[in-house]
Amino acid sequence: MTSDGKLIHKLIDEETSAEIELHGNLRAVLDAIPFYVLLVDRDHRIQLANKTMLSILNLSPGEEIGLFCPRAVHGIDSPYPGCPLEEAVLAGAAVDKEMYNEQLGRWFESGAYPTNYLTEDGRRVYLHMVRDITEVKQTGAALQRNYLEQTALGELLKLSLTPRPMDELLQEMLDLVLQLPWLDIKRRGAIFLVGDSPVVLEMRAQSGLVPKLLESCRRVPFGKCLCGRAAATREIVFAQHLDERHHVTYDGIVPHGHYCVPFMSDGKVIGVFNTYLQDGHLRDPRDESFLSAVADMLAGFVSRRRSEDSLAKALARIGRNLEGVTTAISTALEVRDPYTAGHQVRVTALATAIATEIGFTPEEIEIVRIAAQLHDIGKLKVPSEILSKPGKLSPIEFELIKTHSQVGYDILRGIDFTGPVAEIVYQHHEKLDGTGYPRRLQGNDILAESRILSVADVVEAVASHRPYRPALGIDHALEIIEKDKGKAFDPAVVDACLRLFREKGFTL
């Protein structure tokens, strides 16, 4: 149940009247919620709908009362399968669930929550809330995919450093990539390396290839078929279907597509990585980005085995790819919320500068940097219209905003960072005197990294433009943290921040 749902449910439960007030405060509260809200009785008769729901139903306030919800909302004469109200009535308790609408191609969070209200004829009334969470689901899927990519690249790196025969390791690397669940690929593919001839590819690992292909593709000249074209052009070759570029064919060949990804070292093609795709697969830049990273890994591995001097270059490429994952996660919020674009970048710069000024080790500074980059990732759960609202937030809206610390922790806690990144993000709005949120921690119960992030976050927020006010300037921001030094903010952190701006010329 969302924080909005909990608050509305509480307001309803604390009423003592046995009847529903269809107008006035209750309708005003429900109308303030930007997603779909209904009050329905156990027989699916609508007792009240907020203005968001009324706009979907094309009704005026009051016209919805008494309508049969499945007919009014879904155009059917009985509850749809999986209806949360049906389950809530049977269970005698609140029901929350995520549902996918195939017709709309959208994900929704739907819940039914029993209240203390009864209709005049004694039927219990339920609060029914529905919210479109497609964007959140897509963001979560992207985060999960990024994490899987990072994990896969890490496993490939481990394999590349194993002192075993190269062809054996190439086979394991191929099998690992072909088993990733998010790639729309058939579990068929091959790795080719440039051998004795500088213009011929030789198959060194394969999975699922039929005997005809094993013979025909054992050696592939540059320019021939898709893999040869990739080697000759030094570019990824994509095929959605079998076409005229696919030189090798045979009776009974199953329709399919390809990514053929060349990998190079010192400006020369040293191999090609080939995957089979489901017929009709659309070209996807995300696929190509990851496969390019795999190709970089293969290039480093092969080059190191052929020349140990290339190992450092391979590790640097992998480091850039892993750094890209963190950057992609931290920019996801900024893409969604342009009003705070650059906020996380500036907070990161200031937080790492403070950590350096205090004397943190390079490893500790890196943890501060990562946490600062990701500290507002939980705002992906907050409706964008609240984040960009030009006026003052309502208490309900502010409670929603405050959930971002918990949501950020929930997103990050499953990722195995080298430090307590998730916990730092969880605590970045805590204050020394216990007036912060979400857990009202005090003093040394707050991580040192979170105390740094708290100061950096406040300074940047006050100094910069916000939808509801113009920028107040860095001087005003420094006055605020100086005033609350020792009360809300760590004195050592505040002093370090003041030195940076007033003595060392640091700027945002």
pLDDT in tens, 327-361: 666 666 666 666 655 788 899 999 999 999 999 99
Q: How far is residue 67's CA from residue 316's CA, in Å, rounded to a whole number?
A: 64
Q: Are 365 and 356 in contact (CB under 8 A)?
A: yes
pLDDT in tens, 366-387: 999 999 988 888 887 877 777 7
Q: How far is residue 389's CA from residue 392's CA, in Å, rounded to a whole number?
A: 8
Q: How far is residue 424's CA from residue 497's CA, in Å, rounded to a whole number?
A: 19
> Which residue type occupies 492?
A
**Average pLDDT for the chain:** 82
Pairing of β 185-194 and β 124-132: unpaired
- The domain segmentation of the chain, as residue ranges, is 3-132, 138-322, 337-502
Domains 138-322 and 337-502 equal at CATH topology level: no
Q: How far is residue 333's CA from residue 339's CA, in Å, rounded to a whole number?
A: 11
Q: What is the side-by-side order of every strand in the sheet holding 95-101?
A: 46-49, 36-41, 124-132, 106-118, 95-101
Instruction: Output the CA–CA distances (angstroms, integers) from residue 152 to 155, 297, 302, in the order listed.
Output: 5, 11, 18
Q: Are 213 and 186 in contact (CB under 8 A)?
A: no
pLDDT in tens, 124-136: 999 898 888 777 7
Q: Are 311 and 194 in contact (CB under 8 A)?
A: no
Q: Is the pLDDT of residue 396 over 80?
A: yes
Burial class (CB in 10 A: 0-12, 13-18, 19+), 362: exposed
Q: How far is residue 502's CA from residue 409's CA, in Å, rounded to a whole number?
A: 34
Q: How far is residue 41's CA from residue 147's CA, in Å, rounded to a whole number?
A: 44
Under DSSP, is residue 93 helix (H, G, I), strand (E, B) or coil?
coil
Q: Of 391, 400, 376, 398, whose CA–CA distance to 453 is shortest?
A: 376
Could you list the beta-strand ranges (E) of 159-231.
Answer: 185-194, 200-207, 219-221
Q: Is the pLDDT of residue 7 over 50?
A: no
Q: How far is residue 426's CA from residue 416's CA, in Å, rounded to a whole number?
A: 16
pLDDT in tens, 44-65: 999 888 888 888 888 888 888 8
Instruction: Output the CA–CA distances (angstroms, integers) from residue 19 to 12, 37, 67, 120, in the order listed.
Output: 11, 18, 18, 7
Give the pLDDT confidence score for residue 283 in this predicted structure.
86
Q: How far is residue 315's CA from residue 311's CA, in Å, rounded to a whole number?
A: 6
Helices (H) and strands (E) in the chain, counts: 20, 11
Q: State percent of the chain over pLDDT 90.
A: 27
Local confidence band at 243 (pLDDT 50, 70, 90 cut-offs):
confident
- Please compute the mean of the pLDDT values over residues 144-152 and round it to a whole number: 74
**CATH: 1.10.579.10, 1.10.3210.10, 3.40.50.1220, 3.10.180.10. Which one for 337-502?**
1.10.3210.10
Provide φ and ψ at 472, rounded to 5°.
-95, -10
Bridge partner list, 205? 191
pLDDT in tens, 201-213: 999 999 888 888 8
User: Which tokens hold the place of 84?
Assistant: 């949360």
Under DSSP, is residue 152 helix (H, G, I), strand (E, B) or coil?
helix
Q: How far is residue 453's CA from residue 113's CA, in Å, rounded to a whole number?
A: 38
Using the CB atoms, write b or e for 264-285: b if 16+ within 10 Å: bbeeebbbbbbbbbeeebeeee
Q: Of 426, 385, 432, whose CA–CA distance to 403 is shortest?
A: 426
Q: How far is residue 280's CA from residue 241's CA, in Å, rounded to a whole number?
A: 6
More confident residue, 202 or 16: 202
Question: CATH class for domain 3-132?
Answer: alpha beta
Q: Of 39, 68, 64, whose CA–CA distance to 130 is shortest?
A: 39
Rg (CA), the chain: 29
Q: Are 157 and 168 in contact (CB under 8 A)?
A: no
Give the pLDDT confidence score for residue 357 in this predicted structure.
95
Q: Of 83, 73, 141, 140, whose CA–CA distance to 111 is shortest?
A: 83
Give the pLDDT confidence score for residue 324 in this predicted structure.
66
Under DSSP, is residue 54 helix (H, G, I), strand (E, B) or coil?
helix
CATH architecture of 138-322: 2-Layer Sandwich (3.30)
Give the pLDDT confidence score for residue 420 in this predicted structure.
93
Under DSSP, is residue 120 helix (H, G, I), strand (E, B) or coil?
coil
Give the pLDDT confidence score for residue 13 in this predicted structure.
46
Give the pLDDT confidence score for residue 315 in this predicted structure.
47
Q: How far is residue 319's CA from residue 13's CA, in Å, rounded to a whole number?
A: 54
Q: What is the side-by-side order of every strand in the sheet holding 200-207?
A: 219-221, 200-207, 185-194, 268-278, 256-265, 237-239
The secondary structure of 271-338 as a DSSP string is EEEEEEEETTPPP-HHHHHHHHHHHHHHHHHHHHHH-GGGHHHHHHHHHHHHHHHHHHHHHHHHHH-G
Provide φ and ψ at 99, rounded to 5°.
-135, 145
HSE-CB for 208 with a 13 A CA cutoff = 14
Give the pLDDT confidence score for residue 325 in this predicted structure.
60
